Amino acid sequence: MITSASLPRTLVLLAGLLCVGSVAMAQDGTGIDLPDPVLTGIEFSVTVPGDSSLAASGTPSVRVGGETVPLAYDADAEEWTAEGNTAAASGTVSVEVVADGQVLRSTSTRSIPGWLSILPPLLAIGMALVYRRVVPALFFGVWVGAVLAIGLSPWGAFKGLLDTFEVYVLNAMATSSHVAIILFSLMIGGMVGIISKNGGTLGIVERLTGFASNSQRGQVVTGILGVSIFFDDYANTLIVGNTMRPVTDRLRISREKLAYIVDSTAAPISTLALVTTWIGYQVGLLGTAIENIEGFSQGAYSVFLNSIPYNFYPLLALFFVFLVAYQGLDFGPMYRAERRARETGEVLGDEANVDEAAAEGEELAPPEGTPHRAFNAVIPILVLVGGVLVGLYATGVQAVGADASLSDIIGEANSYTALMWGSLMGVLVAAALSLGQGILDLEQTVEAWYEGLKSMLFAMIILVLAWALSNITDVLHTADYLVSVLGETLPAGVVPAIIFVLAAATAFATGSSWGTMGILMPLVVPLVWAVLVQNGMDAPAHYHILYSSVSCVLAGSVWGDHCSPISDTTILSSMASGCDHIEHVRTQLPYALSVGTVAILLGTLPAGFGMPWWLGLLLGGGLLFGLLQVVGTPVETAEPPFEEVKKPAKV
**Average pLDDT of every residue of the chain:** 81
Does the pLDDT value for residue 386 go beyond 50? Answer: yes
Does the pLDDT value for residue 91 go beyond 50? Answer: yes
What pLDDT does residue 535 have?
78
Length of the chain: 651
- Half-sphere exposure for 279 (CA within 13 Å, toward CB): 32
- Half-sphere exposure for 103 (CA within 13 Å, toward CB): 11
Residue 36's CB is within 10 A of a number of other CB atoms, namely 19
Overall average pLDDT of the 317-346 stretch: 92
Specify the range with the lowest mean pLDDT, choosing from 125-129, 211-215, 222-226.
125-129
Element (H, E) at 633: strand 633-634
Specify the range with the lowest mean pLDDT, choosing from 142-156, 274-288, 323-337.
274-288
Using only C-alpha atoms, the chain has a radius of gyration, in whole angstroms, of 28
Give CA–CA dist 249/246, Å, rounded: 5
Q: What is the pLDDT of residues 44-59, one digit of tens each?
A: 888 888 777 777 777 8
3-state secondary structure of 199: coil
Structure-model confidence comparison of residues 584 and 31, the more confident one = 584
What pLDDT does residue 362 have?
52
pLDDT confidence tier of residue 360, bands split at 50, 70 and 90: very low
Structure-model confidence comparison of residues 212 and 21, the more confident one = 212
pLDDT confidence tier of residue 497, bands split at 50, 70 and 90: very high
Please give the domain boundaries of the chain with CATH numbers for all domains.
21-112 (2.60.40.10), 201-359+460-634 (no CATH)
Residue 67's CB is within 10 A of a number of other CB atoms, namely 13
Does the pLDDT value for residue 428 go beyond 90? Answer: yes
Structure-model confidence comparison of residues 533 and 643, the more confident one = 533
DSSP strand E in 164-295: where? Answer: none
Amino acid 290 reads: I
What pLDDT does residue 2 have?
39
pLDDT confidence tier of residue 25, bands split at 50, 70 and 90: very low
What pLDDT does residue 14 have?
31
Element (H, E) at 63: strand 61-64
Please enumerate, as own/partner, the contacts of 139-146 that have beta carbons within 8 Å and a separation of 24 or more: 139/164, 139/465, 141/469, 141/472, 141/519, 142/168, 142/169, 142/465, 142/468, 142/469, 142/472, 144/119, 144/120, 145/119, 145/120, 145/469, 145/472, 145/473, 145/475, 145/476, 146/472
**Do 238 and 201 contact (CB within 8 A), yes or no?**
no
Overall average pLDDT of the 453-474 stretch: 80
The secondary structure of 430-488, three-state, reads HHHHHHHCCCCCHHHHHHHHHHHHHCCHHHHHHHHHHHHHHHHHHHCCHHHHHHHHHCC
Give CA–CA dist 190/427, Å, rounded: 7
What pLDDT does residue 231 have?
65
Of 591, 647, 577, which Cα lies nearest the Cα of 624? 591
Give the relative orientation of helices 255-272 and 333-344 as an angle to the nearest 10 degrees. Answer: 130
Residue 514's CB is within 10 A of a number of other CB atoms, namely 24
What pLDDT does residue 585 have?
85
The CA angle 335-246-238, to the nearest 5 degrees, is 90
What pLDDT does residue 430 have?
93
Amino acid 489 reads: T
Structure-model confidence comparison of residues 200 and 234, the more confident one = 200
What pLDDT does residue 486 have?
63
Structure-model confidence comparison of residues 371 and 482, the more confident one = 371
In eight-state DSSP terms, residue 67 is: E
Give CA–CA dist 380/208, Å, rounded: 19
Does the pLDDT value for residue 27 go beyond 60? Answer: no
pLDDT confidence tier of residue 232, bands split at 50, 70 and 90: low
What does the DSSP assignment read for 68-123? EEE-EEETTTTEEEEEEE-BSSSEEEEEEEEETTEEEEEEEEEEE-GGGGGHHHHH
What pLDDT does residue 537 have?
82
pLDDT confidence tier of residue 638, bands split at 50, 70 and 90: very low
Give CA–CA dist 445/351, Å, rounded: 43
Considering 85-99, 203-217, 224-238, 300-314, the range whose residues carry the highest mean pLDDT is 300-314
- b/e burial code for range 44-61 (CB count within 10 A of at least 16 → b): bebbbebeeebeeeeebb
Give CA–CA dist 525/601, Å, rounded: 22
The torsion region of residue 21 among left (phi > 0), alpha (psi -120 to 50) and beta comes to left
What pLDDT does residue 23 have?
34
Helix/strand/coil percentages in the chain, nearest 5: 65, 10, 25
What pLDDT does residue 17 have?
29
Overall average pLDDT of the 620-636 stretch: 92
Give CA–CA dist 390/406, Å, rounded: 12
Overall average pLDDT of the 6-19 stretch: 34
Does the pLDDT value for residue 273 go beyond 60? Answer: yes
Give CA–CA dist 423/450, Å, rounded: 15
Does the pLDDT value for residue 170 go beyond 50? Answer: yes
